[in-house]
A = this chain, B = another copy of it.
Amino acid sequence: MAKVDRRIAKTQESLRTAVIALMNAKSFDEITIQDIADQANLNRGTIYLHYQDKYDLLDKLIETHMNELSEMDEWACKLDWSSGLVPFFEYFEKNHLFFSTMLASKGAPSFRARLLDYVMEGFKGEIDRESGKNAELSEDVMLQYAGTAYVGIVEWWIKNKMPHPPKMMAEQVGALLGRSL
Residues of A within 8 A of B (CB): 6, 10, 41-43
Closest to A7 in B: B7
Report the bound CA distance from A6 to B42 in whole Å: 8
Could you tell me the distance between the alpha carbons of A176 and B136 in the complex, rounded to whole angstroms?
85
In the assembled complex, which residues on chain B have CB atoms less than 8 Å from the CB atom of A42?
Answer: 6
Q: What are 4 A-B contacts defined by CB distance under 8 Å?
A: A6-B41, A6-B42, A6-B43, A10-B41
CB neighbours (8 Å) of A10 from chain B are 41
Q: How far apart are the CA atoms of A43 and B9 in the complex, in Å? A: 13
List the 4 shortest-distance A-B pairs measured between CB atoms, nearest first. A6-B41, A6-B43, A10-B41, A6-B42
Alpha-carbon gap, A41 to B10, bound state (A): 9
Residue numbers in B under 8 Å from A43 (CB-CB): 6
Inter-chain CA distance A95–B161, complex, in Å, is: 30
Interchain CA distance A1-B42 in the complex, whole Å:
21
Q: Chain B residue with minimal CB distance to A46?
A: B6
CB A6 to nearest CB in B, in angstroms, measures: 7
CB distance from A85 to the nearest CB of B (A): 32
In whole angstroms, how far apart are the Cα atoms of A43 and B7 in the complex?
10
Shortest Cβ distance from residue A38 to the other chain B in the assembled complex, whole angstroms: 11
Provide the bound-state CA to CA distance between A42 and B6, in Å: 8
User: What distance in Å separates the Cβ of A47 from its nearest Cβ neighbour in chain B?
Assistant: 14
